[in-house]
Structure formats: C-alpha cells, structure tokens
Chains A and B, each alone.
Chain A
Amino acid sequence: MARILKGWAPGDSREPVPAESILLGGLVATLAAFSLFASGFDPVSLAVGLGRIVVQPDILINDYVGRSGLGPALMNSALCALAAVLALRWSRVTVSGPAIAAVFTIAGFSLFGKNVANIWPSALGVFLFSMVGRRPFSENIIVALFGTAMAPLFSEVAFGMGLPLPWNLAAGAAAGVAAGFVLSPIARNALDFHHGYNLYNIGFTAGLIGTVALSTLKAFGIELSESWTWAVLGPLPALPVMAGGFLAMIAGGMSADRGWFAAWRQLLGSGGRLPSDFVRSFGMGATLVNMGVMGLAASVFALAIGASWNGPIIGAILAVTGFAAFGKHPFNALPPMLGVLAVAALTRYGISAPASQLAAIFAATLAPISGGYGPVAGFFAGALHLVLVQVVGVLHGGINLYNNGFAGGITAGIMVPVLEWIREWRRHEV
C-alpha cells in the first residue's frame, strides 16, 4: 500500500495504481466479500434476494437488509458502487473528494432505496441533459451519481401503481429520466439558497423535484405505496467488518504520506463548505485518515445512541465516511449531530425513533455551518435540522432518498443569512 501510494499527489501524471482506485476498488471488494460471507456463499439466495429488492417500491424507508437479508443487500450495494466507479472511469474525471463521496453515498443508499435497476433512469436523464446542452457528460457526472437519490421514482411508478407490463417499466423510466434531466440546472441554482453550507445539495434539489413529482401524482389521484421496512439488528457482524475497513483506511493514509499529520491538522481547521475537496487540498494520506476517523466516530456514535445495525444506519455511516473526503471532519461534523440528539431528547420524537437516529448521523450535512460559524451555530443548526427533517419528508413522500439533504438545505438556507448578518454586524460592516 505504502509503495503504491507514496508520493502520490492530485494531478500527478504517473499512473501506476492510484490511491483512489485502491480505495474505491477496496470498497466494492469488501462489500461483495461481506455479502458472500453473510449469505453463506449461496448464489441462489443472493439472486433471489436481489430480485426481491429490484421489483418492489423503494420510497423511504425500505431497508433492504430487512426485506432480503444482509447478503443480497450488500451485493446490491457492491454492484451499485461498481456501476458508479465504472461511470467515473468512463467519464475520465479526476477521482477526488466529490467522486469518492458520491461512490460511498451510492454504496450506502444501495442498502435502502437504490438498486441495480432503479439507479439508471435519473442518471440517463442527466446524460441526456448534457447531450442536449452539448456539454461533456464529465461536467455532470457528480450530479448524475448523487442524482440517483431520485431512484425510488422509477420503482414507485413501475412497481407501486399496478400498471401492466411493459407500460409500468416505460412509465417508470420516463419519470426517472425526466427528473434526472432537470436535476443539473436546479442543483446549481439550489446552491444559491444555502451558499454551499449544506453538503447534500442534491438532496435539497431532489426534495424540490420530489415535491413536484408527488404533487403531480396526487393531482391525478395516485397514492404512493406505504411500504416501510426497518430491520432491528445488533452490531454483529457489520460493526467488526466496518471497523476493520476504517482502520485499514487510517493505516493506508498514514503509510501513504509521511506528512499526513501536519496535513490532517490543516484539514481539521478547514470549514468544509462546498466544494471542499480534501484530496486536492490536503492529499490522499490525510484524506484517508480523516475518512477512517470519521467512519469510526460515526460507528461509535451509532453504538452510543443504540441504533440498529441495519441498511439505513450502515448506509448513513458509509455516506458520512465518503463525505469525509469532501467537507466533513470530526470538529465540524459533531456539533450538528449533538444538536439533533439534544432536541430529540427534549421533544416527542426521542432518540430511539429511526428517523431521529438517521437524522443524528446525517446531520453532519450541516458540518460547514459549524466549520464556518462555530460549534454553537452548528449545534443549533442540528437542532433545527431535526424538527424539519421529521416533517419535510411529507412533501416528497419519500421519493427523494436524501431527505436529510432536503431538510439540511432548508436549515442552511434559513440560518446562513442570519449568521452572516450577525457576523457582519459584529464587525460593524452593516
């Protein structure tokens, strides 16, 4: 590992086996191997489980681990992550912070909503948008990958409305492609609302599009399926495997870059506002260490709040780990997470509720607020995030998988102008 990674820097023209290939390849291989182990090396049960995952609606929250078991859920995650990696290769983009975050997010959400069938329509929509605009697809690949948040739209229309074959597939694909087509321009404008202080910007965007989609369906009297799956599982066997992976990331990062500690200290001082590409700014060594540390921290956090080690929780930890290459570090992520915990304990929601537990981990989407305006602001951002995330899901009905990104966008959009005014007022600039 050290030999391969040593001396690597973004933009380096040498191309032996780049660190990001080891990282992403390692993620896919680990998920696939864990899947085979969890399914008892039984390909038939894996195939049956995958089939069950594909042909059912996927609106929030549908835990694939609860629906088909850990093995098929992990294999679905491995296949979706592999598809994302291949898409990045095909687009010939530099695999740095945002790409790593996108692959880890896809791997995580492929445990509860994204699958090998439903991720394609929205991605195709983004591809068509690039073609119609006569721009390279590489410019929109990050939007396409994160845009798979709209994957349940395909599944819901195709398998949740009782339409006959093949019209159900055609209608589902058309809905997904249409959502993907408008995703890129709306996502860029959505940044203006929160100024990059919500890391899950596509979640905010997909929430807006999902609201339009749900409103349209309701206008025609079409109701969404009300499926809900949440497996209750202990930390075994997931936690040891994940902890091993995070420790390997830390070891890899340390051996890759002798100056990792100094770079990581600099990284810990960064605000994290979009786009904070840690790989580009601080190198792969410090980024890997940060990812491993954030993965371990999120795992300890999940243990501490008594979370069930099911698809959504494992997925949330993977997403946090991925975004540790793109804006999150322990100092800016923890305050909003604690803010969620405090308000969950004070309100009727409670921390034992699945939505509260997910919100506590995903609240790290507001890490740039604590990074930019201090931990107290981050804490209150997390507090506001919890009360919003419990309600805003109604708007899109769970069609948008990144509901925390939607709530985070609203939270940041409300808080940042006020925080900015306070900062300028204290400096006597207003």
Chain B
Amino acid sequence: MKFDAVQLMRVAEELLKYCYLKGARNVKLAYDFGEERSFCALSAKDLVLSPEDEAWLRKVFAGPVQPEVANYYGSLAGRRREEPQMELVATMAELEDLGSEPGLGTRIVVSRREAEFRSARV
C-alpha cells in the first residue's frame, strides 16, 4: 500500500473525528486515488459549521504541505480520543473545497500530491 494513500486516510480520519465532535452523526467519506494526486471528500449532511469554525479550518489548511513534519509525526494522527489533530494533518494535504450551509450540510475536499518516487511501480 502506498505511503501517500495511508497519509490521506489519516487526514480523512481526523476530519471525520472533527465532524463527529462538532455533532455530525451522518458522515460519508469518498476517495479517489490517482497517479499524480489523490483526493478525499467528506460530506456531513447533518452538520452546519459556524463561520468561526469554517474560518479556523481554512486558516489551519492555509499553511503549506510540510513533508518533513507529515512523514515523521504523521503516525500520531488519530491517537487522541477528543483532540482532533487538524494542525498535524494539515501538513499532509491541501484543502481543495470547504462549504457549509443549511440544507446541504458540510463538504470538505482535500488532496495530496504523490511524493513517492516509486509510486508507479508499487
């Protein structure tokens, strides 16, 4: 299994935990693993984020992807029961889309570029 795919799943797990802690109980995750870039989309129809939460998420993901942090400390993601580690997983992926409105719920799309040199051969 590709390391980059594992990293994207860690990001998804933290997003899932974040939405659960915010009150979502109906959350769908979808993945698209590509050759160059992989995507993860989260949809929580029963959750509407406050403007502050939305701004916070955008701020957290505003920083650059940091492979030196993501690779080394990535395994710590998902370890805490009540502490989402969004700052950590934000170093692993880029925020492609974030929207939250009544009726439609919350959608978050993140992506991760393939970094493995050998990705085409594994």
Contact = CB atoms under 8 A, between A and B. Distances in A.
Given A10-B64, A94-B64, A139-B71, A134 B76 contact: no
A10 B69 CA distance: 14
Interface centre among B63, B68, B70, B75 (most CB of A within 10 A): B68
Interface string A57-68: 000000000000
Contacts of B96: none
A273 B91 CA distance: 16
B76 A196 contact: yes
A191 B75 contact: yes
B72 A192 contact: no
A139 B92 CA distance: 11
A43 interface: no
B66 interface: yes
B63 A142 contact: no
A138 interface: yes
Nearest to B76: A196
Contacts of B72: 139-140, 142-143, 184, 187-188, 275
B79 to A, nearest CB: 6
Chain A: number of interface residues, binned into ranges: 20 to 34
Contacts of A280: 63, 66, 87, 91
Contacts of B63: 10-11, 94, 96, 280
**Range of interface residues on chain B?**
20 to 34
Given A134-B116, A135-B116, A281-B87, A140 B66 contact: no
A21 interface: no
Contacts of B66: 93-94, 96, 277, 280
B118 A134 contact: yes
B3 interface: yes
B67 interface: yes
Contacts of B117: 134-136
Contact of A142 (B3, B68, B75): B68
A99 B68 contact: yes
Interface string A178-210: 000000100111011001100000000000000
A184 B81 CA distance: 26
Interface string A400-424: 0000000000000000000000001
Interface string B85-122: 00110010000000000000000000000011110000
Nearest to A280: B63
A98 B67 CA distance: 12
Given A11-B62, A135-B116, A280-B87, A188 B67 contact: no
Contacts of A143: 72
Interface in A9-30: 9-11
A274 interface: yes
B73 interface: yes
Contacts of B73: 191, 196, 274-275
Contacts of A227: none
Interface in B41-90: 62-64, 66-76, 79, 81, 87-88
Nearest to A144: B68
A91 interface: yes
Residue with the greatest number of chain B CB neighbours at <10 A, chosen from A142, A189, A424: A142
A9 B60 CA distance: 12
21 contacts: A11-B62, A94-B66, A98-B69, A134-B116, A135-B71, A138-B67, A139-B68, A139-B72, A140-B71, A140-B72, A142-B68, A184-B72, A188-B72, A191-B73, A191-B75, A196-B76, A196-B79, A274-B73, A275-B73, A275-B76, A280-B91
Interface of B: 3, 62-64, 66-76, 79, 81, 87-88, 91, 115-118
